[in-house]
Chain A
Amino acid sequence: MLSAIEPTTSWYLILSAVLFGIGTVGVLVRRNPLVMFMCIELMLNAVNLSFVALATQLSNVNGQVAVFFVMVVAAAEVVVGLGIIVSIMRRRTDATADDLSGLKG
């Protein structure tokens, strides 16, 4: 019977670790700032997944509260970051992260 195996908390934590790794590689490899932003979102949500899994496991609601705050901060971060990207793209089209290295002093 398929339902005999129930996923444990470890499964969720491992899935979360894999997602976090994918996000890390994405940030390191990709050049498009928009895609890099999506990968940062991926890492945040991977950590959210482990928060929720452990909150359920430990019967402690504080994990879910932490996820709530992470979501709010992620939303604020995305708003500011996308605003920066839009204002950069307005000046020059097709900006990659390498083109922006001219910003360093």
Chain B
Amino acid sequence: MELVVFVLAAAMVLGGALGVVTRSNPVIVYAGAIVVLFLFVIMLLGVDESEDLSVEPIAKQRPLALILGGGLVAIIIAAVVTGRENFSAAGGALESATLESPDANIRALARSIFSTNVFAFEITSVLLLVAVVGTVVMARRMKSLGTGK
């Protein structure tokens, strides 16, 4: 059962990922966590005219990129295959939800976030605030410049 879910999800993910890289029109293929933001910007900017993928601005760039990416994947897979005895011995699984305790995993997660990692959590809120304020400042039209055009 898990195999079926894994294969289906992996096929969808890989198809979507390859689509993002190889298609000239990104709108159809992308669906992700921050999809609303991306779609909003695509709608705003109108990037739906297709990029010309036949020209190669820097010579030999694509073969080199493919070699680099393929080599990276090969190295990681080699590391996973050679190292799999080490982590397969650890075994075990997180407490999965049962009818008796449907929130066991979530409770552990919350305990970790709000006690061990509470400082990182607080810093995260500062980070989000900085991002929002920075974007508002950056994206706002300056009154003196914007109305003149």
Contacts and interface: CB of A to CB of B under 8 A. Distances in A.
Interface in B30-73: 30, 32-34, 37-38, 41-42, 44-45, 47, 49, 51, 57, 61-62, 64-66, 68-70, 72-73
Contacts of B88: 8-10, 57
B3 A2 contact: yes
A22 B20 CA distance: 9
A28 B68 contact: yes
A27 B92 CA distance: 37
A32 B135 CA distance: 21
A79 interface: yes
A9 B68 CA distance: 25
Contact of A15 (B13, B33, B87, B124): B13
B99 interface: no
Interface string A15-45: 1011111111110111110110111011001
A30 B134 contact: no
B90 to A, nearest CB: 5
Chain A interface, >50% SS class: helix
Contacts of B20: 26, 35, 38-39, 42
Interface footprint category on A: 35 or more
A7 B109 contact: no
Contacts of A55: 94
Given A22-B14, A35-B26, A65-B113, 10 more contacts: A9-B88, A13-B80, A21-B69, A22-B17, A24-B69, A38-B32, A60-B94, A69-B120, A83-B134, A86-B139
Contacts of B91: 57, 59
A38 B68 CA distance: 19
Contact of B34 (A54, A74, A80): A74
Contacts of A30: 21, 51
A98 B57 contact: yes
Contacts of B28: none
B32 to A, nearest CB: 6
Contacts of A10: 80-81, 84, 88
Given A38-B26, A61-B112, A76 B127 contact: yes
> Considering the complex of A and B, which 9 residue pairs feature the smallest CB-CB distances, nearest first?
A21-B73, A28-B65, A59-B92, A17-B76, A25-B69, A76-B131, A26-B21, A83-B135, A7-B6
A90 to B, nearest CB: 8
